[in-house]
Amino acid sequence: MSGGVDPRTLGQPPVNDLPGPALHLEAGESTAHSGVWKPDPPTVKRIRDRIAPEPDAWKRVIRGKIRLEGESLRRPPPGYPPDHQFTQDLVRKNIVACVGFRDALVTSPDFLDTFFEAGKAMDPLNRFLADAIGLLWGAGTLSLLPRRC
């Protein structure tokens, strides 16, 4: 990495592996996303290692107004039971939630409030992921972290 500090050298996950919100604006396709996108293998293992033994904690995260999406493996990774109640989440390559927005809402004066409400709905996911990865997450606040594409 030229001109910057590589978080891997500091014992921290890569920037792409940090949980946090993102906004995608496109006609007919506008969404708020949150979570971790394409985490490296050690990071996704930490997340799976938190989901597997703590199904009640994970259930509290996903029962909200969020929808998880993204690519998945065909079968559970080695070391995870195929009959786990959250196998569909243990096979995920990305742990990302998504909230869609209609174009009329995106262009309305209330959109910023709506986006922050979506972020609050996804905050339990970010808090769970941050804890699994070993990062602090803002207490009771929506923490906006820098994201790289």
Domains and CATH numbers, the chain: 15-133 (3.30.1460)
Please determine, for residue 143, whether its predicted confidence score (pLDDT) is greater than 80. no
**Average pLDDT score over residue span 98-126:** 93
Give the span between the Cα atoms of 46 and 140, in whole angstroms. 23
- The pLDDT assigned to 136 comes to 81
**Average pLDDT score over residue span 2-20:** 56
- The pLDDT assigned to 140 comes to 47
Q: Considering the entire predicted model, what is its pTM? A: 0.79
Please enumerate, as own/partner, the contacts of 132-141 that have beta carbons within 8 Å and a separation of 24 or more: 132/46, 132/47, 132/49, 132/50, 132/51, 133/13, 133/17, 133/18, 133/19, 133/36, 133/43, 133/46, 133/47, 134/46, 135/12, 135/13, 135/18, 135/19, 137/19
pLDDT in tens, 53-110: 999 999 999 887 778 988 999 999 999 999 999 999 999 999 999 999 999 999 999 9
